[in-house]
Amino acid sequence: MQAQQAQQSYASNIVYSDKYNDDKMEYRHVILPKEISKKIQENKLLSEMEWRGLGIQMSRGWIHYGYHAPEPHILLFRRVLTL
């Protein structure tokens, strides 16, 4: 129960960037509290189930494709741009 409460508390501290795009893809980055980022294996790309399990909440279709190198608690996401 305490772990679930802690996760909910961390989830409320997750910061989502505005979306930005190029011709084909839409992008956004997510800044995790450092307490959550410590639970992630270094340089591992997360499946949707894994990133949702960390408390990240986004609509379907987003794919985790990387980390911001100087700050590994910033996750990079993209999805195919639909018009």
Classify residue 75 as exposed, middle or buried by CB count within 10 Å of its CB (0-12, 13-18, 19+).
Answer: buried
Q: What mean pLDDT value characterizes the chain?
A: 89
33-51 pLDDT, tens digit per residue, is: 988 888 888 889 999 999 9
| Structural domains of the chain sorted by starting position, each given as residue range(s) with its CATH number in brackets | 2-80 (3.30.170.10)
pLDDT > 80? residue 8? no
Under DSSP, is residue 41 helix (H, G, I), strand (E, B) or coil?
Answer: coil
